[in-house]
Structure 1
């Protein structure tokens, strides 16, 4: 349970930062767009029609929280949660910059400028640190 709560904390942190900064900074990463593209691509591959953009955006955010929550829940496995969270966050950030292009999702949402790349990595690193901190705290309070 601790790992799951820590993972959700990291997932909510990265989603909150993405959704907040993208509203006022033009070079902000747009991981929501990558999520929307991935869902649309998968649905088309399965012979389905993707929903309208507003609904697709909601699905993307929910998918991000679920998948990132599962990923960051790994921070709570074992000791050194801060260290594990930082490593997981950095790896997720680099993956967010490097993988969308080869996956056919485009590079602009996460890698269009050096600032966008740095922010992408930084957001996921922050999420890993949050997840690690929450995992460490939950271990101390015996939840």
Structure 2
């Protein structure tokens, strides 16, 4: 159950990160364009593998899917080990991801301008990843508190369940 809770939490964090990113970019000119960096990374990887670069909606959808999966795996690490300090772990991993995005993009041979064009863009980049880490931590914490459903003794357990034939 611990692994499942961590996986669900990781996906919740990744979803939050991407929902915030995809929403804010439509309303704020200084919003980071993490998607553009991801598209560069995907096409660079495809070229290195000898495959044709992707374009348009296919590039966007493939990058988004890869982003959600990789961030979900990363954020699920929050649930490893003790359940104590989940919010601290979520904060630390979120900040590390955001700062890492700012510090490593250029070193990986990618154009970092979409996430570093000004101070507000940099702050939002780190903030998005922080939101993802906190949502993941809170989800894991909430799921960890859930107790298994117990059937009361007075309920006839031989009764057929709707949908089970």
Coarse TM-score class (shorter-chain normalised): over 0.9
| One of 80, 98, 105 as aligned partner of 2:103 | 98
The residue matched to 2:108 in structure 1 has which SS?
Answer: coil
Cross-structure match for 2:128: 123
1:36 aligns with 2:74: no
Q: Greater shift after overlay, 13-22 or 78-87?
A: 78-87
- Listed as ranges, the matches of 1:1-143 within 5 Å are 1-77=4-80, 78-79=82-83, 80-142=85-147
Q: For the pair shown, which has the larger CA radius of gyration, 1 or 2?
A: 2
1:98 Cα deviation (Å)? 1.1
- The runs of 5 or more residues in structure 1 that have no matched partner are none
**TM-score, length-scaled by structure 2:** 0.84
- The runs of 5 or more residues in structure 2 that have no matched partner are 149-165
List 4+ stretches of structure 1 deviating above 6 A. none
1:134 Cα deviation (Å)? 0.5
Q: How many matched pairs?
A: 143
RMSD of the TM alignment (CA)? 1.0
Cα distance 1:85–1:142, how it changes in 2: closer, same or farther (>3 A)? farther
